[in-house]
Structure 1
Amino acid sequence: MQPTVASPPGLVLAPPPALTARNTSLTYVRGAVGSPICVAVAVFAACVGLGYAGLVGALLSMVAVIVMGVSSTRYAFVRRHLDRQAEVRDRCRRESARLKLLRPTGPVRQQQYIELRELVEEIERSDPNEAKRFDMQDLLDHFVRLATSHQRCLEALRLAGSHDLPHTIALTDGTRSKRRRDIMARRLRHREECLRRVEQLADELEAIDELVRLVAQRVACPALDPDLEREIERRLWELDEVDAALQQLSA
């Protein structure tokens, strides 16, 4: 059962990925045949076969290598290697998508993301179970989505302008038509809404930053061994027993 984690106010953790996706035999076969090692060996075998037996030899050599690659997927260590390679590709693809989304947010937000990513990687190296429990990769995805929304709100504020809209609009101003006053009032309300949303998104971004740093602190601090106190007490008891035995012998 997946444990639930209480999140700080205003912070919504992304749900964990679905557990129904599982690698099938066809997935392993496709990964083995398309791996760089299998492709390199197939090309080398084709060149050797072409030199010895012409085109037929090249085709037979490639088919033999492909058959060997397919049959190797029955072994557990080959499947583990393919799983690791697939995980690395997925992480690279995920990281590339994040950086692409963060490109319009500016260098400050990108640097903040890089620092959080390094902390998450350190957590995954130190305690993989803790990283899975708190869904750290999904938390980084949520950070990127919030940063993108925050930047879009800032762009909306830039379009609204900071000086061309008055803070108060005189409804009885005869120099402006009723339609114009209504439009200016709508723009003003939308600008105030954008300001509130920017503050809320900024607060949630900082909450994610604090949460990642908190988990990193928890992982970095080693937990106390519950048996340590019992071990000390046992040794003290043995010392008392030795002292009592010596006193009885000397009496």
Structure 2
Amino acid sequence: MKLFGQKLTFTALFGLVVTTLFLLVVLLAPWIAPFGEAETVGGTWDLASAQHWLGTDQIGRDMFTRILYGTRMTIAVAFAITLMSFFIGIVIGFTSAVLGGWVDTFFSRLVDVMLSIPSLIFALIILGVFGSSIPVLILTIAVLDATRVFRLSRALGMNLTVMEYVEAAKLRGEGLWWVITREILPNAWAPLVAEFGLRFCFNFLFIAGLSFLGLGIQPPFADLGGMVKENAAAINFGMMAPIYPAATIALLTVAVNLVVDWMLSVDARPSGAQAEL
């Protein structure tokens, strides 16, 4: 099987299939779920049955339903964060590379200062002050994550701004936005797409970690990290309730990383003409 003209490996195919299934869950969760997101339908930590495939949680809600909605919420928030962080990081990174001088110095030193503070501590401070609403959560993590995207974008931009086609665009009098979107970005998309997958995984895990600490996505919304925390005591009774959301987090992270690894290997592979040389 091929994708974009390149043969998919078994691991990449597995990752792609699993990732596609998760995307379908994001889109179809309300129609797939057998019960309501916050509906109490049984007792505390009921065992798996024909009615409740994965049993129930600590207050009797259907675990399968909660995982569907939790997966949907966590993926959607992580994707929104990654999109925003890439927009901020790419624009500032390429701008710094193209303009150079004091602009590059200012943004580079600002990013160095932000990177000197551990991301988790920074996020805990901001969320503790402004609350854990979804808009605040998205904006906070996106700004923190944009510092990593800035580093990559600036490095790519510095290598591309010295190319002849970029210099020619500048001599034609093209503006900054034109140079970034028409000359630099199309030639930097491959590493950026691979980095997008990696940053998505990081943000997905980061949100789950914050929710486990009680500062991520708040009830009544379902969230995978919060579900692990809420049902952690079930382990003491030999119940599987916290294992299901934890396994869901691990499965999606592994699947996305398998696809990203394949993309990086394809991007690093020499073309036919280069191979012949």
Q: How high is the TM-score relative to the length of structure 1?
A: 0.32
Greater relative CO (CA pairs within 8 A, separation 6+): 2
Larger helix percent:
1
User: Could you tell me the TM-score, scaled by structure 2's length?
Assistant: 0.29
